[in-house]
Amino acid sequence: MGNLVAIVGRPNVGKSTLFNRLTKTRQAIVNEQAGTTRDRQYGKSEWQGKEFSVVDTGGWVVNSDDIFEEEIRKQVVLAMEEADVILFVVDVMNGVTDLDMDVADILRRSKTPVIVVANKTDNNNLQYNAAEFYSLGLGDPYCVSALSGSGTGDLLDLVLSKFRKEAGELIDEDIPRFAVVGRPNAGKSSIVNAFIGEERNIVTEIAGTTRDSIYTRYDKFGFDFYLVDTAGIRKKNKVNEDLEYYSVIRSIRAIENSDVCILMLDATRGIEGQDLNIVSLVQRNQKGLVVVVNKWDLVEDKSVKVMKFFEDAVRKRLAPFTDFPIIFASALTKQRIFKVLEAAKDVFQARMTRIPTARLNEALLPVIEAYPPPSNKGKYIKIKYITQLPNTQIPSFVFFANLPQYVKEPYKRFLENQIRQRWKLSGTPVNIFIRQK
Ligand code: GDP
Ligand code: GDP
């Protein structure tokens, strides 16, 4: 299970600089795959072979000029609820401020481990200044310079040592894991209740491994899957519900622990920025996607034409990834909610698809012959052989070519679409690699 590190602190102490420092290498790779730079506040980090997520909670504040104490307080509370380790960043050049003290007052009650990061320690003399951070009552301050990177290696060692020990996973890996995600009020709890109903006996809660229970087993009506909890689903914290970015942070863990994400949209509101952030998280974690246009009961004109209009609009907003099922449903009337589960099941299957090498070559080589990659600098590019990589999270295909560097994005997309159409891979991301033969 993924660990989550949250960065908190008042403005200008260097949170986003530290975030960039911790996520740098990984970020580049991830961005290349998903083609997005939207959510710079969320990233993956890797240290000593261990991968974990980092969130700059301050980065989610839409207008940082308007930042006020209450907002920071809420971020800190959220980090305490959601993260495995909190990095409390302070500024060695400025020393302790009132706002630092306020944050520390909250953090001292935290059950989540807190590390005081004395940032901007650009030289040894500044280290002596850090001593004043003992007054925060949160243990040893850790001196780093996010700008130069000095001290960040030791900091990461410390972060790793604070992660909870992973208990053996109690869940059955062959059974799909679905997460219901979306903005507040999209209908997440309603649809989960519609699935589970009052019949609490049909579900088994699995005791959490590194966190409180996160998987709920559902085994009825021919379905067998785990519902992966978004923290918000069961214990709604009304204080935070009004702030949309909380829904994104809350979704991170559920998305990371799922195979397929069911994104709930509110038909009466359409797609907004937070939906795009969530979709981006789904893609960057290479999870399957089903989009539910919920509250369909509230839409008066339910004609095919209107549905088509909705569908096109959704796909256009979520481009370049457009090949996923869209279900028009109502959690309230339960219209088509089982279709949602069917779709999620199909996407799970698509994710697991294994195509024999012979099939791939039989089907695709003639198409490639008929529509070869455009020649580059007078050089003729030939794809000779295709195979699917074994043991990957999502279907991943390698095309062996004489001059792989000349096969460009549009042609890769063409190849991907050929595979998608032929083998019905709707809802799952697909990797296409071109390698030297
Ligand atoms: P945030 O508001 O907490 O996210 O802070 P930023 O990351 O935006 O940094 C605020 C300012 O502090 C920027 O001008 C940074 O370049 C600067 N800064 C961040 N880390 C360091 C550091 O380690 N040393 C120095 N000298 N400046 C830093
Ligand atoms: P969550 O914040 O995403 O968990 O959303 P909730 O499940 O709490 O739903 C928010 C509000 O929308 C509640 O008042 C629900 O009764 C209402 N709601 C949810 N799904 C539907 C639906 O399909 N149709 C209608 N008319 N209302 C719905």
* Helix (H/G/I), strand (E/B), else coil: 256: helix
Instruction: State the pLDDT at residue 59.
Output: 59
Q: Which residues line ligand 1 (CB under 6 A)?
A: 9, 11-17, 58, 119-120, 122, 145-147
Encode pLDDT of 198-227 as tens digits: 544 344 444 433 344 467 788 888 889 988
* Helix (H/G/I), strand (E/B), else coil: 61: coil
Using alpha carbons, select from 93, 117, 92, 94 the residue that is nearest to residue 104. 117
Closest ligand 1 atom to residue 148 Cα is 23
Give yes or no for a contact between 277 and 284, defined as CB atoms under 8 angstroms apart.
no
Closest ligand 2 atom to residue 193 Cα is 7
Three-state SS letters, 25-60: HHHHHHHHHHCCCCCCCEEEEEECCEEEEEEEHHHH
The answer on pLDDT for 160 being more than 80 is yes
d(CA 386, CA 155): 44
Peptide bond into 356 cis (omega under 30): no
pTM above 0.80, yes or no: no
Q: Output the CA angle 173-286-391, nearest 5 degrees.
A: 50
More confident of the two residues 303 and 243: 303
Instruction: State the pLDDT at residue 101.
Output: 93
Task: Using pLDDT thresholds of 50, 70 and 90, give the confidence band for residue 11.
Answer: confident
Place of tokens 């509370």: 77
Using alpha carbons, select from 226, 171, 216, 247 the residue that is nearest to residue 341. 226
ipTM score over 0.85, yes or no: no
Whole-number Å distance, alpha carbon 190 to ligand 2 midpoint, is 6
The answer on pLDDT for 429 being more than 80 is yes
* Helix (H/G/I), strand (E/B), else coil: 122: coil
Please compute the mean of the pLDDT values over residues 350-373 and round it to a whole number: 95
Please compute the mean of the pLDDT values over residues 318-327 and round it to a whole number: 92
> With DSSP H G I counted as helix, E B as strand and the rest as coil, what are the percentages for the chain, rounded to 5?
45, 20, 35
Ligand nearest to the CA of residue 274, numbered in listed order: 2
Pocket test for ligand 2, best of 185, 234, 337 (most atoms within 8 A of CB): 185
Q: How many other C-beta atoms are found inside a 10 Å radius of the C-beta of residue 158?
A: 16
d(CA 29, CA 73): 33
> What residues are designated binding site for GTP?
9-16, 56-60, 119-122, 182-189, 229-233, 294-297
Encode pLDDT of 285-294 as tens digits: 999 999 999 9
Whole-number Å distance, alpha carbon 405 to ligand 1 midpoint, is 38
Instruction: State the pLDDT at residue 207.
Output: 43
Whole-number Å distance, alpha carbon 251 to ligand 2 midpoint, is 18
Residue 188 beta carbon below 6 angstroms from any ligand 2 atom: yes
d(CA 226, CA 215): 6
The kind and range of the H/E element at 399 are strand 396-401
Encode pLDDT of 57-69 as tens digits: 765 554 445 556 7
Nearest residue CA, atom 18 of ligand 2?
187
Half-sphere exposure of 355 (CA within 13 A, CB side): 24
More confident of the two residues 88 and 41: 88
Nearest residue CA, atom 15 of ligand 1?
14
Q: What would the DSSP string read from start to end of 260-312?
A: EEEEEEETTT---HHHHHHHHHHHHTT-EEEEEEE-GGG-S---HHHHHHHHH
Ligand nearest to the CA of residue 57, numbered in listed order: 1
